[in-house]
Amino acid sequence: MDAKVMKYVIEGPDHAVRASVKLPASKSISNRVLILNALSYSPYEIQNLSDSDDTRVMLEALTSNDRDFDIGAAGTAMRFLTAFLAKVVGEWTITGTERMKNRPIKLLVDALNSLGAKIEYTEKEGYPPLRVFGSALQGGEISLSGGVSSQYVSALLMIAPYMEKGLVLHLEGKIISAPYINLTIQLMKQYGVDVVWYEQTIKVFPQEYKPVPFTVESDWSAASYWYQIAALSQQPEIELTGLFKNSLQGDSAVAGLFAQLGVKTTYTKQGVLLKKNGNITQKLFYDFVNEPDLAQTLVVTCVLLNIPFRFTGLQSLRIKETDRIEALKTELRKLGYLLMDSHMGILEWMGERCEPEQSPVIITYEDHRMAMAFAPAALVRKGGIEIADPMVVTKSYPHFWEDLKSVGFRLTVNQ
């Protein structure tokens, strides 16, 4: 590994974790509402907008006069902006990091082109960078595999009301990440657009968005790391503010998952309060098809608590910021845990161990969730844990390390 890469040595607090934490705003909601705000020509400024890299990049693109956009590592921005710009008259280019140039986007581009868009690849067929010739879109009826990223579906749905024929979208096979599609639809409804989702078909008729004042709720995905800290701590008492029980976010499922790993959730006026409930399952079986972003947190927590697991529905993890399945297997092997996977989106651990490395350094692969899922390991590992390129957290939770320090974690920079 490059010796110049910054690393954090993280050690857990030497006292019980008792704190109130203001979580970042939901990135998923922020990124969708930015598009809907733009499409509705809203005069209202979005309240409590996420300060994540992904959202900042999207905001800059939507408010700039540029025609060439570099969205860095922001996958959501790449997909949402590709669809958005396809309906805005003009010529645009979108590029990103080297990793982004290797993340497939052909399915979305093909879908948009079949609906009347004109989008070309400027380097490698099927991958960014893209040249987008924006114009009015015909719309119509198309079919997509339900197994594709929900962001492709959301990108198409959000611009659908402005297609001349609207959009009839048939999703074939098993639908992954359905809560994210539902989140998009519910937000579209808040902006005054009717959407019909019946079984495998979603219909959006031609209509117009209406501007509304909007406040973004806190991020349940970010909450997962605090659930992890509670699960690995002795006598924790952690308040997370800005979370709602009846959240639109699919990752609110984290409360039920961690109830099986010893964490009790109490809903308060401010958010949630986490304490130990004393109930820990012997084995954990779960299908993450609806909440793939929680997988890394649960995998790391389970091995550290010595709880065997079998997790399914992880197909989309291979095309995230990194191949998250391979990354988890590689980095947990350094800590002495041998995970098994199959090509069917299954990852499992039945207690298999190997000799851990003497001084392991966790590589983050430009993936914010790798850094945050491994950081709580400092609570149970003697001497803490060392994480490379820790500032990748800015993608979704810029003040993560500051929040850890505020509750007693010790961070030392190791160049």
Residue positions annotated with a catalytic role:
293
Residue in the structure block whose two tokens are 């960078």: 129
The number of C-alpha atoms within 13 Å of 171 and in the hemisphere containing its C-beta is: 23
- Residue 388: name the closest of 336, 339, 327, 307 by CA: 327
- Residue 130: name the closest of 106, 153, 149 by CA: 106
DSSP 25: B
In whole angstroms, give the CA distance from residue 403 to residue 409. 9
In whole angstroms, give the CA distance from residue 259 to residue 240. 16
Q: Tell me the three state secondary structure of residue 405.
A: helix
- Residue 253: name the closest of 217, 227, 282, 281 by CA: 227
Cα distance between the two ends of the chain? 12
Cβ–Cβ under 8 Å, residues 345 and 353: no
In whole angstroms, give the CA distance from residue 265 to residue 244. 12
Transcribe 104-142 into DSSP letters: --HHHHHHHHHTT-EEEESSSTTSS-EEEEE-----EEE
Q: What six digits make up the tokens of 326? A: 């391979």
In whole angstroms, give the CA distance from residue 178 to residue 250. 8
- Ramachandran category for residue 29: left, alpha or beta (phi over 0 → left; psi -120 to 50 → alpha): alpha
**Distances from the Cα of 408 to the Cα of 12, 15, 385, 405, angstroms:** 7, 8, 15, 5
**Distances from the Cα of 3 to the Cα of 6, 112, 354, 388, 393, angstroms:** 8, 44, 26, 10, 20
